[in-house]
Structure 1
Amino acid sequence: MERYAGRVALVTGANSGIGAATARALLRRGLEVVGLDKRIDRVQARELKDAPGRLYPLQCDVSCEENVPRAFKWIKENLGGVDVLINSAGICRENLPTTGQTAEWRHTLDVNVLGLSVCTREAVQSMLDRGVDDGFVIHICSIAGHIMPFDPLCSMYHASKHAVKALLEGLRKDLVARNSKIRCGEISPGIVKTDIYNNLKKYSLEALENMRTPMMEPEDIADAVIYMLSQPPRVQVRTDNGRKRCR
């Protein structure tokens, strides 16, 4: 992690859950962390007074395309550019394929797929424009991106996470074709105790706890992010039936 000390990391969805835990983990390792979220007040509350890194809360709705370039413009003008991107912002809604609301489907895709894609494009362009060849892009995906829906209520969420997995592989091939050493990866956890379940009824946190469903903590995923970033440049961590491969 020493090579990233003092460098700029952008974490989306930084106000709670995996995003907040990841931001804190990066701050402890000396990175300058831009915490992107609609709820900037909650991002500000995550600042660690004793951490060597500094937190920069930045208000941005990743589902609104014009918001994202504006955020990257601020980062360029004030911090130079993004070296590490953690795409953590994500939402889940319970909607049946036969009766779901179009607006909620669209919102899921706007955040989980298009927002992630726009942030990735802007971050990678920032790295390429500045000649950064050791940058890193990490998508926080889900086990839902590797299996079929276990309940039709979750169909659109599963579809969005399958898209994230496909987009990651496309990004990897794009970077290889450019002869770039910028790395990318995705982390696909199971159930993590986060606010993503606040808007759910059948699969609320309370319901999952009543079912005695094992859950991970956000810090467990932040640890996985740190592990990926800490690997030497010759190592590319991939999710492929649980195996790790070199690039």
Structure 2
Amino acid sequence: MERWSGRVALVTGTSAGIGAAVAYQLQDHGVHVVAVARRVDKIEGAVAKARQEAKNRGRYHATNATPGKLYAKKCDVGKEQDILALFKWIKDTLGGVDILINNAAIGGNDKISEVKTAELRLLLDVNVLGLSICTREAVQNMRARGVDDGHIIHISSIAGHTVPSSIAAVYCATKHAVGALAEGLRKDFVEHKSNMKISLVTPGKVETEFRDNRPNFQTEAVKNMPGLESEDVADAVLYALATPPHVQIHEIIIKPVGEIL
């Protein structure tokens, strides 16, 4: 991770859970982190809480790096104008990004035969369009600055490989799309003879408030399954980032022991 010290990462969805855990780990490895969420007032507290929880569980690994700076910024990735304003701020203030962690997402709990258009649009706007616009802006910024070793990481879901129930169909469709977008970007990099990387981190069930906000998003069987901690997913992100320049992690699938999905 030493080569990332002093560089800039953008992490979306950092007001809780996986995003907060990724943000603190990057910051503590010397990376300057632009941490964004709709609930900007919760970001700094969530990142500090994730760090403290890791220490309490014996999961915190101190580094010799000087901690990076944390910039908490408000952004709704479902709104293109928010994303464009964010990247302008990053360019004007920090020069640009070297790492993009597309973590922000929302769940869905409607059958495709019953889903309301507003709900369908929200899922697509955040999980697919928002991710795609963030990726486009990050890659264009890197190319304009001559950065050829940047790394894009999409936090996907095991839902991108299955459709466990009828109520999960739309959400699963968005996560299947994330996988296709990642592979398309990899081929884009190959065509440009670029050394930039794109990776998918694909977790199974994770114990975060993501599920709490959508109580009907899971069956009783899923509720009773064991789950991952946010720290587990953040560790996978750092593993992908720490690979040497000639190694690219295409996908890490990480699931709790005993998961039935």
TM-score normalised by the chain length of structure 2: 0.87
Q: How much does 1:208 deviate?
A: 6.1
Amino acid at match of 1:86: I
Give the unaligned 5+ runs of structure 1: 243-247
User: 1:78-128: per-residue Cα shift (whole Å, max 9, x none)?
Assistant: 111000000000000200111111101110111000000000000011110
**Structure 2 counterpart SS, 1:86:** strand
Greater alpha carbon shift after TM alignment, 7-16 vs 97-106: 97-106
Q: How much does 1:36 deviate?
A: 1.1
> Does the 8 A contact of 1:93 with 1:199 survive in 2?
no
> Does the 8 A contact of 1:192 with 1:216 survive in 2?
yes
Q: 1:168-207 counterparts in 2 under 5 A? A: 168-203=182-217, 207=220
Q: Distance in 2 between matches of 1:241 and 1:91?
A: 19
Q: Distance in 1 between matches of 2:77 and 2:152?
A: 16
Decide whether aligned partners of structure 1 residues 240 and 216 sit closer, same or farther in structure 2, where only a CA change above 3 A counts: closer
Match of 1:161 in 2: 175
TM-score normalised by the chain length of structure 1: 0.92
Decide whether aligned partners of structure 1 residues 104 and 177 sit closer, same or farther in structure 2, where only a CA change above 3 A counts: same
The structure 2 residue matched to 1:225, chosen from 237, 241, 253, is 237
Match of 1:237 in 2: 249
Asked if 1:115 corresponds to 2:127, the answer is no
The structure 2 residue matched to 1:84, chosen from 99, 115, 119, is 99
Q: Distance in 2 between matches of 1:72 and 1:100?
A: 33
Question: Aligned residues: percent identity?
Answer: 49
Q: Distance in 2 between matches of 1:239 and 1:119?
A: 20
Q: How much does 1:56 deviate?
A: 0.1
> Does the 8 A contact of 1:183 with 1:236 survive in 2?
yes
Decide whether aligned partners of structure 1 residues 153 and 204 sit closer, same or farther in structure 2, where only a CA change above 3 A counts: closer
Amino acid at match of 1:227: Y
**Structure 2 counterpart SS, 1:30:** coil
Q: How much does 1:241 deviate?
A: 8.4
Give the unaligned 5+ runs of structure 2: 52-61, 255-261
The structure 2 residue matched to 1:55, chosen from 70, 85, 106, is 70
> Does the 8 A contact of 2:201 with 2:253 survive in 1?
no
Q: How much does 1:41 deviate?
A: 0.5
Number of residue pairs matched by the alignment: 239
Amino acid at match of 1:239: E
Provide the aligned C-alpha RMSD in A: 2.0
Match of 1:245 in 2: none
Amino acid at match of 1:144: A
> Does the 8 A contact of 1:22 with 1:222 survive in 2?
yes
